[in-house]
């Protein structure tokens, strides 16, 4: 339990950040789900469009500390490879 004023304040801040991060993580997952659905549909155009829409949201997740930089790089690399395979 937080005792000092500083630790009480940090606990309040952590609660607020947790809510913000949870919403951002949920939004990122929604964008990823849309990309997965577009890939599953077999439409290369839809997949590329969904991927381009998801990319800034994922990058924002990295800058805000929700995702690790290398996690984003790995995900984007794999999704781009799958979208490219559809186009061929």
- In order of their start, the domains of the chain are 5-87 (1.20.58.110)
| Model pLDDT, residue 52 | 96
pTM value is 0.86
Cα 42–chain centre separation: 23
Sequence-distant (6+) residues with CB within 8 A of 59 are 72
H-assigned helices in the chain: 5-41, 44-63, 69-87
| Model pLDDT, residue 31 | 97
> How far is the C-alpha of 12 from the C-alpha of 69, rounded, in Å?
27
| Model pLDDT, residue 69 | 97
**Residue range 52-70, pLDDT digits in tens:** 999 999 999 999 999 999 9
Intervals of the chain under pLDDT 50: none
């Amino acid at each position: 339990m937080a005792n000092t004023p500083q630790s009480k304040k940090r606990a309040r801040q952590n609660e607020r950040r947790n809510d913000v991060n949870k919403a951002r993580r949920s939004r990122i997952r929604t964008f990823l789900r849309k990309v997965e659905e577009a890939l599953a549909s077999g439409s290369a155009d839809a997949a590329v469009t969904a991927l381009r829409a998801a990319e800034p949201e994922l990058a924002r997740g990295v800058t805000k500390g929700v995702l690790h930089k290398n996690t984003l790089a790995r995900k984007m690399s794999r999704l781009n490879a799958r979208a490219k395979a559809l186009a061929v």
